[in-house]
């Protein structure tokens, strides 16, 4: 619960099976927003907004909205 990593997992789901497709753990990067800002691009990559763990909060104590994207290719 108080781990210092962020994890991401992608699954394939059909009517009878759930299959793990991708799993990764990030030590210095954290998800930056809600799922609405994650997207599949027409280039076939998944884009996930992230922030470095030291820049997660802004000076007002709110979530920093100046995030970057991790680009993930799923084969």
Tens digit of each residue's pLDDT (9 = 90 or more) over 34-52 = 667 889 999 999 898 888 8
User: What gap in Å lies between CA 66 and CA 21, rounded to an integer?
Assistant: 29
Structural domain boundaries, residue 43: 6-73
Assign 70 to helix, strand or coil. Answer: strand
Residue 4 structure tokens: 């210092």
Q: What is the pLDDT of residue 34?
A: 65
Whether 1 maps to a domain, the answer reads: no
Whether 61 maps to a domain, the answer reads: yes
Instruction: Say what the pTM is.
Output: 0.70
Q: Dihedral of CA 15/19/21/27: which sign?
A: positive
Whether 63 maps to a domain, the answer reads: yes
pLDDT tens-digit map of 7-24: 888 899 999 999 998 888
Give the total number of structural domains in the chain.
1
Predicted confidence (pLDDT) at residue 67 exceeds the cutoff of 90: no
């Amino acid at each position: 619960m108080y781990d210092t990593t962020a994890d991401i997992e992608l699954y394939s789901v059909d009517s009878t099976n759930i299959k793990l497709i991708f799993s990764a753990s990030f030590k210095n990067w954290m998800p930056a927003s809600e799922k609405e800002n994650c997207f599949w691009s027409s280039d076939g990559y998944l884009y996930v907004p992230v922030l470095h763990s030291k820049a997660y909060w802004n000076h007002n104590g709110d979530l920093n909205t100046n995030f970057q994207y991790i680009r993930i290719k799923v084969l």
